[in-house]
A and B are shown apart, each in its own frame.
Chain A
Amino acid sequence: MTSLTDPPKESFRLGMLIYDTRYRSLTIQVVALIGFMIFAAWLINNTLYNLAEQGKNVAFGFLSDPAGYDINQRLLDYNSQSTHWRAAFIGLLNTLLVACMGCITATIIGVFVGVLRLSNNWLIARLMTVYVELFRNVPVLLWIVFTMAIMIETLPAPSDFRGENPEASMVLFDTVAITNRGVYIPEALFSNGLGDLPILPDRENPSCQPGEDGTLGDDCGVFQISLDLLLIVVVFGASLFASGLIRKRADRIQNETGDRPNTWYLRVGVVLLPTIAVLAVLGFHLGYPELKGFNFQGGTHLRNSLIALWLALSLYTAAFIAEIVRAGIMAISKGQTEAAAALGLRPNRIMNLVILPQALRVIIPPLISNYLNLTKNSSLAIAVGYMDITGTLGGITMNQTGRELECVLMLMLVYLAISLSISAVMNWYNERVKLVER
């Protein structure tokens, strides 16, 4: 007769850490963690030792010192007495500026080219293929320096605009001057403007004492926001909101009665009239660039470096976006179009209601990762002298102060923050449009 006995109590042996799958994963993780920490400690130790040898330390105090160099293309007030902090911030704004402009134009060109590549016109389709292959297979840095060279070598000098029979003339009804020193476009001016609102003003600063005409100095505050711009944005936003309310009301009436009231003139009026009124009250007018002396004065000056970088990045990224758009449209099976046509939808409604919503799900994620690439590629600005954050923090500031470790570290963190926030947007979008499957 046999009787069941408990299995012998297993005592813990050291070998089980390796051979028992219950413990092995833990062992591997602990070993990996210890290995990583030893490696990191080794790096830090080396770094500290080497820095001490060179008589340096790790400190960020240098950022509060005056930068001592000039930034010619800037969105906010800056002079050579400003701090390295401010220079880096101006650089960051410049990065974001060229990235935003680039993303917008690259999307427009890319969608256009991607759709045209599918055209049944043989010539157009081939032409677009040539464009895409040409831009995708040549390094973006080459495109940037190439565009810069085109701007410098082929565009007219400001002096060509002078004289009775000038060799060059301004375009768009004499409002835009395209020269080899950059493009001058009209600027928005307000004859009864409200002035600027300083953000985080420092009361001790002499420029924050109101002057004779009641205005503050340019140096007051970390930066200044134009109250005119603020007012216009607020009014425009409010009118858009009101227009939305009108649309909602129309929807409600349509749902109740089946008839949709005609509201488009009302909505156009609600959006445009208040804004135009505000512009009129503020005395809005355009300041045109004018040739004075050796150069153009007035207007907004977009430098060559900005234009070249913007154009090259847009055209380069647009080639990739075109491929994404093409693939996205081709991914929608023909049955969808046919089914929509069978339901009696018209071609533009088929595109809007059936094809695009499905294609966008395929298109948007790679599109956003291309925006990310464009933003990272904008760091090549340093090749044409556009002062983005790589040019300021990673360029002149780093070379002047010799603080390579701190500068490169901050530079990487800034780009990482931009990348991670774009990725977060992408994940949020993917989550939202994910196909709900059974």
Chain B
Amino acid sequence: MVDIHFVRKSMIEEQEPPVATTGVAGWIRENLFSSPLNAVLSILSLAFIFYVLSALLPWIISPTWAATSLGECREILAGHEGACWGVIRERWLQLLFGFYPRELYWRVVLDFALLIVAVAPVLFTGLPRKMLVFSAIYPFLMPWLLWGGSVWNPIAAALGFVLGYYAHKLAKPTLGSLAAVILAFVIPIIWWAFLSGPVVDALASVLPLITLEGVESRNFGGFMLSITIGVVAIAISLPIGIVLALGRQSNLFIVRSLSVGFIEFIRGVPLITLLFVASTLLNIFMPPGTDFDIILRVIIMVTLFASAYMAEVVRGGLAALPKGQYEAADALGLDFWMAQRLIIMPQALKISIPGIVSTFIGVFKDTTLVSIIGLLDPIGLSTSIRADQAWNGVVWELYGFIALMFFIFCFSMSRYSMFLERKLQTGHR
């Protein structure tokens, strides 16, 4: 019996991988043509992309930037298909700012730039905490910059909160916590309702420090209107949403039923019906003589709408917290509000930030509905631009521009919220 063995003495030399599996060819083979079905799908989608681009690109690249009317566009194009970009050149400022006075655009731009500064410390935890002071001032600064008027107005509004805070602080040692809370609510309301108006008038006539030129709400329009409604609604709906979410989680039957009733009612009806309420009914609900202007009424209804959705987002955050957190807070002897403020809310809100951002995206997109009740948001403006003799018949350019703007806003926000979701996903893996 002969034993034949073969033992390799040396390593085989490293070889190049097959050409078909590396480089561009390998990538294409693996990702586009890995099976007959995939090959067919790839070719079909390539054909589709080619078809769309070949139709769209020549239309987009059209030398009509300087045109001043649709007729001029047609002359330039001389029978070829092409976009009429003159309308965007002429009206893009209007699409952004509506009929806001041209010389005051800086106020809107400054306002939204400051908005980013104010929101940044909330969204990016790496920034210095002192910036939160500006975030607290901003809500009073924003309406003043947009609507104008005396600088005393925002100061008086802010003073209400300061009064409430000090009323609570001073009354608590002498009168007890309940009386302090009641005072903290009653004093600011008295201040805002009865005193602040005359005081502001008096101060404005005695000390006219800075008075910005007033701008009427009906001049608001375009993306500025959408952003204003969206931002104000989300900012105000956040505290209301937190209260509603707590109410829904509470074990007090009446409080819970009221919260559930409100949330389910608002979530059960379309926003457009709430906007009908804003446009036709809200002034009927208010005491005789009240005359909120239409933008304010829309903001009120959109805020109610957003707070119901916000409540559900916050409730999700509360439900995601482990029960141990609540029990630990109880074990430390904290009362309900201290537990919420120090332990529960900081964690629950952190979990809900992605949800809050997507609620904001939803509300921002939904602000286009105000065009149905006659406000001049981008879609409403596109109709009024088309009513102009020079641009009668321009459709795609306007819709395309509006869609692009919305896409840029919403896409960047949704990417941010995805980034946040990944960043916050630290605990359990």
Contact = CB atoms under 8 A, between A and B. Distances in A.
A binds B: yes
Given A29-B253, A139-B366, 11 more contacts: A29-B252, A122-B31, A134-B407, A137-B361, A141-B369, A145-B399, A149-B396, A376-B270, A408-B281, A411-B269, A411-B276
A34 B369 CA distance: 36
A153 B395 CA distance: 9
B325 interface: no
A242 B372 CA distance: 52
Contact of B372 (A49, A53, A383, A408): A383
Nearest to A419: B268
B269 A138 contact: no
A142 B288 contact: no
B166 interface: no
Interface of B: 31-32, 34, 38, 41-42, 45-46, 48-49, 178, 251-255, 258, 264-265, 267-273, 276-277, 280-281, 283-288, 361, 365-366, 368-369, 371-372, 379, 395-396, 399, 402-403, 406-407, 410-411, 414
A70 B392 CA distance: 29
B258 to A, nearest CB: 6
B407 A47 contact: no
B403 A146 contact: yes
Given A139-B406, A408-B276, A415-B270, A121 B34 contact: yes
10 contacts: A32-B252, A50-B283, A119-B41, A123-B32, A141-B379, A405-B284, A408-B281, A411-B273, A412-B265, A416-B265
B45 A127 contact: yes
Contacts of B410: 136-138
Of all A-B residue pairs in the complex, the 7 with the closest CB atoms, nearest first, are A419-B268, A122-B31, A137-B410, A376-B270, A404-B280, A139-B365, A379-B270
B268 A416 contact: yes
B41 A36 contact: no
Interface in A139-191: 139-142, 145-146, 149, 153
Nearest to A382: B372
A142 B399 contact: yes
Interface string A101-126: 00000000000000000011111100
A72 interface: no
B270 A377 contact: yes
Contacts of B283: 50
A382 B276 CA distance: 12
Contacts of B38: 119-121, 124
Nearest to A390: B272
Contacts of B42: 121, 123-124
Contacts of B254: 29-30, 32-33
Interface residues of A, number: 54
B32 to A, nearest CB: 6
Contacts of A47: 284-285
Contacts of A149: 395-396, 399
Most chain A CB within 10 A, of B178, B269, B399, is at: B269
A226 interface: no
A360 to B, nearest CB: 22
Contacts of A401: none
B258 A379 contact: no
A118 B269 CA distance: 35
B258 A32 contact: yes
Most B C-beta atoms less than 10 A away, residue of A142, A149, A404: A142
Contacts of A136: 410, 414
A408 B366 CA distance: 19
Contact of B406 (A29, A138, A390, A423): A138
A46 B406 contact: no
A51 interface: yes
B367 to A, nearest CB: 8
Contact of A405 (B41, B46, B178, B281): B281
A50 B291 CA distance: 12
A28 B269 contact: no
A142 B368 contact: yes
Given A120-B34, A137-B406, A146 B399 contact: yes
Given A32-B255, A120-B31, A390-B270, A137 B411 contact: yes
Contacts of B265: 412, 416
Nearest to A56: B284
A43 B290 CA distance: 13
A119 B332 CA distance: 52
Interface string A383-406: 100000010001000100000110
A420 interface: yes
A420 B399 contact: no
Contact of A133 (B49, B277, B411): B411
Contacts of B178: 18
A89 B261 CA distance: 26
Nearest to A53: B288
A88 interface: no
A50 B287 CA distance: 8
A380 interface: yes
Nearest to A127: B45
Nearest to B396: A149
Contacts of B402: 142
Contacts of A379: 270, 272-273
A296 B314 CA distance: 55
Nearest to B286: A46
B200 to A, nearest CB: 26
Contact of B269 (A51, A404, A412): A412
Interface in A26-80: 28-30, 32-33, 36, 43, 46-47, 49-51, 53
